[in-house]
Amino acid sequence: MMVLILAVVLIPLLGATINGLFCWFTKRKAHIIAVPAIAIPAIVSLILLARVLQGERFDQVLYWWIPLGDFRVPIGFLLDELSAIMITTVTFVATWIHVYSIGYMDHETPRGYAKYFCYLNLFVFFMLTLCLANNFLLMFVGWEGVGLCSYLLIGYWYEKASAANAGMKAFVVNRIGDFGFMIGLFLIYKHLGTLLFSQAFASAEQLSVGVATLITLLLFTGATGKSAQIPLYVWLPDAMEGPTPVSSLIHAATMVTAGVYMVARTHALFNMAPLSMEVVASIGAATALMAATMALVNNDLKRILAYSTVSQLGYMFVGVGVGVYAAGIFHLFTHAFFKGLMFLTAGSVMHALHGELNLQKMGGLIKKMPITGWTFVVGALAIAGIPPLAGFWSKDEILAGAFMGGHRIIWAVGTFTAFLTAFYMFRLIFLTFFGEPREKHLYDHAHESPPVMTIPLIVLAVGSAVVGLLALAPHGGIVGFLNRTLGEAHEAAGHEGGLTYILMVISVAMGVAGVVLAYFMYMKRMPDPVAMARNFRPVYTLLYNKYYVDEIYFAFIVNPVVGGSRYALWKFVDVIIIDGAVNGVGRLCRLVGGGLRYIQTGFIPDYAWMILVGAVVIYWIGRLF
């Protein structure tokens, strides 16, 4: 088992190393290395999943990385139901996205091509490290590693100022969250004296509620950064500057879910802190709603998907926040399929339209790109929660969990968000793929993508359609499987027949209503969207400008910090104090040297006696001290 786990983790690293060091050699052939470097771990992780299904577990420290007296940093892996699902999802989705990238990135320079695959493999390596770590610090290594790869890949087209800035923004915003995460780690080590999950969770009961709340809130700060929740979600829409497969893999399917994974992984701590759970659920719900409303009026294909991702991540946090961790992870799992799929189709559209992203310039593309179009529809139906597609099952689990857990407001918000989700997704579909083409020349040049891109689409579409059915598998389905690790917070809530079906019907009805409304507004123009925008101008403007959050951040955080840095830190601290100290040391050295240079006579005999006397002096110094 250890060999298999090491294979899963290290093969992507090997691929990254080869492409990184020998990019001058692999060039256009980089995918020959990179794709197997992900595909093999994908197969191996399926084997591992099968063995975990049979009840095997793995939790072992391989070696002590930094032994410092009492403080020892382990390198070790933990494979249980949770991490098995995670690595299977990550490697499976990543494999198809790698395949897709072969077609999508074929306009790049040879070196850039190899570099891209190197980063991608490296990302998978760090993601798997994150998922398989059996201690907080190794998890943090993976956490930071995926952040690094995210930064590198967002800024992949670093010649473009907007891409470079977006990368920087992602990095800085993530740092804020990571800072909280790190302090959380310190507190865990301080209070529990260990970094290993197994030991930490076993002794979690010792924590007082206050400390547990503090720790979990700090950890959740990290999660909000990585998983783009309020208030740190602002980087994710900008991250769409990266190549679309990257958006698909990192900023939809895998990395951004790391926060959810982390909360689920540390559920033992969160269970100790009800307040933190409330905070998680509330922030998740608020984020879900806010992001969904922002997606309503946006005209940028990828940004809508990005807001959608933020919104769905909010759902996941609602799941883990109300205590149905398994449902949250299940939604993570299904979301990886359909959101990965939708980003890939968006990439396919961009590929066809030479990078055009504005919805208002598209229309009727389904005739030109049937595979892309229909797979997108599958994904949209899945996210809208139409049964029996994947999103329905997982979303329903979350909403049911929220309702059963007594979080009625959160349930209401989630249900309304489901309606909004269906609406903006089908707005996107109707504007993009149906109706009349609005830009003739774009439409004329559009073409279906090559098979290397469409086959992953089909595979993921099939996945989006069917993975939800895992909920119906024996022994409680996937949720039951995950609950073997995660436990059920609301055992008493159970799944009573009648209420469950009512909730299910409500959420399906909301999804259908959203689809129908979108159909009438954007196909039939029944309530004309333009007129509506005019009638509700203040709301529209507010939504269109994303609640002015970026502007607020600039006004209240960025500018004061920059100003303070410039006037207080630079002009005063740096110039006067630090430079003064440095120059003072320099002057002191010159002074001393100026005195000592008289010794350097350049006359060898003088040096001879200095050596003799020096030997004696050194002996006595050694003797006396």
Partner 1 sequence: MGVGLFQYTVLSVLVFLLGALGLMIRRNAIIMFLCMELMLNGVNILFMALARSKGSVEGQVIVLFVMAVAAAEAAIGMAIITSFYRSRGGIGVDRADLMKW
Partner 2 sequence: MMINAWDVVFFFLAGLILLSALGVVFIRHPVYSALSLLANLCVTAILYLSLMGAPFIAMVQIIVYAGAIMVFFLFVIMLMNLSKGEYQERAVPWRLLLGLGAAALFAFQIFILAGEWRGVLSPGAGGFGVKALSHFIFTRYILAFELVSVLIFVAALGAVALAKKKL
Binding stretches for partner 2 (CB under 8 A)? 605, 608-609, 612-613, 615-616, 619
Among 163, 178, 348, residue whose Cα is nearest residue 238: 163
Task: From 151-159, 265-273, 289-297, 594-602, give the range in contact with partner 1 by CB under 8 A.
Answer: 594-602
Closer CB to partner 1, residue 160 or residue 590? 590
Is residue 597 near partner 1 by the rule CB under 8 A?
yes
Picked from partner 2, partner 1, none, the partner binding residue 613 (CB below 5 to 8 A depending on kind) is partner 2
Which C-beta is closer to partner 1: that of 69 or that of 602?
602
- Residue 598 burial (CB count, 10 A): 7
Rule CB under 8 A: is residue 24 a binding residue for partner 1? Answer: no
Work out what residue 601 binds among partner 1, partner 2, none; the CB cut-off runs from 5 to 8 Å by kind: partner 1
Q: Where are the alpha helices (DSSP H) in 203-273?
A: 209-226, 235-238, 244-248, 258-265, 267-271
Question: Any idea how long the chain is?
Answer: 625
Least distance from partner 2 to the Cβ atom of residue 592, Å:
24
595 binds partner 1 (CB under 8 A): no
Tell whether residue 605 is a contact of partner 1 (CB under 8 A): yes
Quick check: 603 binds partner 1 (CB under 8 A)? yes
Closest CA to 315 of 255, 402, 376, 406: 402
Quick one: 107 or 597, whose CB is closer to partner 1?
597
Of 256, 436, 463, nearest in space to 362 by CA: 436
Instruction: Choose the stretch contacting partner 1; rule: CB under 8 A; options: 227-235, 475-483, 546-554, 602-610.
Output: 602-610
Which of 355, 482, 476 is CA-nearest to residue 83?
A: 482
In angstroms, what is the minimal distance from the CB of 621 to partner 2? 13
Q: Pick from 292, 296, 293: which is nearest to 309 by CA?
A: 292
Q: How far apart are alpha carbons 328 and 317 in whole angstroms? A: 7
Q: Does 497 bind partner 1 (CB under 8 A)?
A: no
Nearer Cβ to partner 2, position 497 or 605?
Answer: 605
> Which residue of 604, 616, 621, 624 would you call a contact of partner 1, by CB under 8 A?
604
> Residue 556 contacts by C-beta under 8 Å, 6 or more apart in sequence?
none
Q: CB pairs under 8 A, 24+ apart, for 365-370?
A: 365/432, 365/433, 365/437, 365/443, 365/446, 366/433, 366/434, 368/443, 368/446, 368/447, 368/448, 369/433, 369/446, 369/447, 369/448, 369/449, 370/448
For the bound state, the minimum distance from the C-beta of residue 579 to partner 1, rounded and expressed in Å, comes to 28
Rounded Cα distance, 16 and 34, in Å? 7
161 or 599: whose CB is closer to partner 1?
599
Q: Which is nearer to partner 1, 574 or 606 (CB)?
A: 606
Give the H or E element holding residue 59: strand 58-68
User: Shortest distance, CB of residue 615 to partner 1, whole angstroms?
Assistant: 10
- Cβ 600 to partner 1 shortest distance, Å: 6
What CA–CA distance (Å, rounded) separates 379 from 527?
26
551 binds, among partner 2, partner 1, none (CB under 5 to 8 A by kind): none
Nearest distance from C-beta of residue 15 to partner 2, angstroms: 43
Minimum CB separation from partner 2 for residue 601, in Å? 11
- Which position among 209, 608, 617, 618 is part of the footprint of partner 1 (CB under 8 A)? 608
Please tell me whether residue 601 binds partner 1 under the rule CB under 8 A. Answer: yes
Q: CB nearer to partner 1: give 24 or 598.
A: 598
Closest by Cα among 340, 378, 333, 341 to 470: 333
Q: How far is the CB of 598 from partner 1 (least distance, A)?
A: 8
150 neighbors 215 (Cβ within 8 angstroms): no
> What is the Cα–Cα distance from 495 to 234, expressed in whole angstroms?
37
177 by DSSP, 3-state: which? helix
Cβ of residue 613: shortest distance to partner 2, in angstroms?
5
Q: Where does this chain bind partner 1 (CB under 8 A)?
A: 597, 600-606, 608-609, 612
